[in-house]
C-alpha cells in the first residue's frame, strides 16, 4: 500500500473545541499537516460548519451523516444532494452515534456513488463490517462503541477485531478500504492500525481535545506512513 493511500479522518463531532470559528482553525491545522507530510487528512466538521470549513481549506471535507431522503420538503435532515451542493467530497454513514438501517445505508452508498461522493460506513462488529463492505462503499471503519472516546486504542484493546475486519471486508468487496477508530491518539496507535492491514484511522477526541493538535496530527501522519 503506498503512502498516498493512507488516510487520517478527523471527526470533529459536536465538540465545542471544534465548532464555529474553531472548526476552521482546526481544519487549517489539518491542512497544514497534510501539506507537510503528504498524508491524506479528511475532516468532518459539525454540520453547521460544513460551508465555512469548505471555504477555508483545500483538503477533503466530509459530512458526518446523511439521511436517505430526497431533498425538498423535509426539515432538520441532510440529503446527499445537500452535501453535494455544499461542496463536501463525501460523508460518514452509520456512525455509532448516528446509526442507520442497512436498507438506508445501501441506498445512500449507491446514490453517493452516482453523485461522485465518497462514503465511509462505520461498523461495530464483524457481521456488520461484512454486510456494509458488501454494499461496496469506499471505506468501512470499524469502531467498537465501548472504546469510543476512551483512553485505550482499539488497536491495543482489540487488535483482532481490526485485522478480522480487514479480512471479512476485503472478502466481501476487495476494493474496499478499511479504517479503524476508537481511542486512537498516537502515532504508535496509527502505525499499529497499518500493521493490522488498514489504510488508516478515523478519530476524534485524540485530536479535537489535544492541547497541541498539530503535534498529535504530525505524530499520527508519521504513524500511518511507517
Ligand atoms: O468517529 C471517530 C470516533 O467515533 C472515535 O472517537 O474520540 O475515540 O477518537 P474517539
pTM, two decimal places: 0.97
Q: How many CA atoms lie within 13 A of 14 on its CB side?
A: 5
Closest residue (by CA) to atom 2 of ligand 1? 203
C-alpha 97 to ligand 1 mean position (Å): 10
Report which ligand 1 atom has the smallest distance to the Cα of 203.
9
Question: Cβ distance 187 to 203 under 8 Å?
Answer: no
Choose the residue to mutate in 148, 193, 209, 220 for probing ligand 1, maximizing ligand atoms within 8 Å of C-beta. Answer: 148
pLDDT surpassing 90 at residue 25: yes
Active-site entry in 17, 36, 77, 143: 143
Which tens digits make up the pLDDT trace of 69-113?
999 999 999 999 999 999 999 999 999 999 999 999 999 999 999
Residue 3 has a pLDDT of 47
Question: Cβ distance 143 to 124 under 8 Å?
Answer: yes
Question: Cβ distance 162 to 168 under 8 Å?
Answer: no
Mean pLDDT taken over the chain: 97
Residue 5 has a pLDDT of 83
pLDDT surpassing 90 at residue 125: yes
Ligand 1-lining residues (CB < 6 angstroms): 11, 95-96, 143, 148-149, 181-184, 202-206
- For residue 160, the surrounding DSSP H or E stretch is helix 159-172
How crowded is residue 106: how many other Cβ atoms within 10 Å of its Cβ? 19
Residue 224 has a pLDDT of 98
CA distances from 212 to 27, 28, 104, 108, 146 (A): 14, 13, 38, 36, 26
Question: Cβ distance 52 to 89 under 8 Å?
Answer: no
| d(C-alpha 61, C-alpha 67), whole Å | 18
C-alpha 61 to ligand 1 mean position (Å): 17
31 in active site: no
Residues 6 or more apart whose CB falls under 8 angstroms from that of 85 comprise none
Choose the residue to mutate in 13, 92, 162 for probing ligand 1, maximizing ligand atoms within 8 Å of C-beta. Answer: 13
Which tens digits make up the pLDDT trace of 132-178?
999 999 999 999 999 999 999 999 999 999 999 999 999 999 999 99
77 in active site: no
- For residue 200, the surrounding DSSP H or E stretch is strand 200-203
Copy the grid coordinates of residue 161: 477485531
Q: How many CA atoms lie within 13 A of 168 on its CB side?
A: 19
Residue 152 has a pLDDT of 97
Question: Cβ distance 80 to 66 under 8 Å?
Answer: yes
Residue 148 has a pLDDT of 98
C-alpha 70 to ligand 1 mean position (Å): 29
Confirm or reject CATH 3.20.20.70 for domain 7-224, answering yes or no. yes
Active-site entry in 95, 136, 160, 188: 95
Amino acid at each position: 500500500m503506498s503512502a498516498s493511500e493512507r488516510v487520517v479522518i478527523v471527526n470533529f463531532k459536536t465538540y465545542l473545541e471544534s465548532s464555529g470559528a474553531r472548526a476552521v482553525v482546526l481544519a487549517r491545522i489539518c491542512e497544514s499537516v497534510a501539506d507537510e507530510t503528504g498524508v491524506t487528512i479528511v475532516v468532518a466538521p459539525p454540520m453547521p460548519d460544513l460551508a465555512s470549513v469548505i471555504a477555508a481549506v483545500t483538503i477533503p471535507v466530509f459530512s458526518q451523516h446523511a439521511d436517505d431522503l430526497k431533498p425538498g420538503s423535509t426539515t432538520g435532515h441532510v440529503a446527499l444532494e445537500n452535501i453535494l451542493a455544499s461542496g463536501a467530497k463525501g460523508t460518514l454513514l452509520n456512525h455509532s452515534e448516528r446509526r442507520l438501517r442497512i436498507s438506508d445505508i445501501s441506498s445512500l452508498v449507491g446514490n453517493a456513488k452516482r453523485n461522485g461522493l465518497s462514503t465511509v460506513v462505520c461498523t461495530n462488529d464483524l457481521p456488520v463490517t461484512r454486510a456494509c463492505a458488501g454494499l461496496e462503499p469506499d471505506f468501512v471503519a470499524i469502531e467498537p462503541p465501548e472504546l469510543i472516546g476512551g483512553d485505550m486504542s482499539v488497536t491495543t484493546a482489540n487488535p483482532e477485531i481490526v485485522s478480522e475486519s480487514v479480512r471479512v471486508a476485503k472478502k466481501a468487496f476487495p476494493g474496499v478500504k478499511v479504517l479503524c477508530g476508537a481511542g486512537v491518539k498516537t502515532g504508535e496507535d496509527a502505525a499499529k492500525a497499518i500493521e493490522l492491514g488498514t489504510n488508516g484511522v478515523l478519530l476524534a477526541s485524540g485530536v479535537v481535545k489535544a492541547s497541541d493538535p498539530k503535534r498529535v496530527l504530525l505524530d499520527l501522519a508519521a504513524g500511518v506512513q511507517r
